[in-house]
Amino acid sequence: MTGEPAAGDPAIDEPHPDDPTPQGPPPVLRVARLLAYAVFVYVVIVEVTLLIGFVCLLVGVEPSNWLAEWIYRSVDRTMQPFRGMFTAIEFGLGESAEIEPVVESSILFAMIVHGIIALAAHDLVEWLGRPRRS
């Protein structure tokens, strides 16, 4: 025994009340983490909306319902940068269906791009949350 406190001793783990070092991350870092979380949440909501829109187009959901109309409108806004990148694949069920089922490849591409953005935002939050070495 050398007289030093053990590693789990509360005298070592607790900061001294007169310690001038600030506790927690600086305000700029907190704001950056909050913005990264906001981007991540937004992109996840966009991903879910695109997935629902893709399934609605795939099965040919008619936009007469308020929910389907909202989904189609949201997908249309989100798809503006990706519109027309790929050709839609129509099933061609004939004239019996009012809404033709379609595989919209552009939506799949947009989901991949938004997934990459979500992963980048998640990694940014993780990186900003790491303790810094002094």
Which secondary-structure segment (H or E) carries 89?
strand 89-90
pTM attached to this predicted model: 0.70
Whether residue 69 lies inside any domain: the answer is: yes
| Tokens encoding 81 | 């940068």
Which backbone phi and psi does 90 adopt, to 5 degrees? -95, 145
Whether residue 7 lies inside any domain: the answer is: no
pLDDT averaged per 10 residues, the chain (length 134): 57 56 70 85 92 90 87 91 84 64 88 90 81 69
Supply the range of the domain harboring residue 38. Answer: 25-129
Q: Indicate the number of domains in the chain.
A: 1
Whether residue 12 lies inside any domain: the answer is: no
Whether residue 88 lies inside any domain: the answer is: yes
Whether residue 39 lies inside any domain: the answer is: yes
Whether residue 11 lies inside any domain: the answer is: no
Q: How many helices (H) and strands (E) does the chain have?
A: 4, 2
End-to-end CA distance of the chain: 30
Which secondary-structure segment (H or E) carries 103?
strand 102-103
Which secondary-structure segment (H or E) carries 45?
helix 27-59
Q: What is the pLDDT of residue 77?
A: 92
Whether residue 4 lies inside any domain: the answer is: no
Whether residue 75 lies inside any domain: the answer is: yes
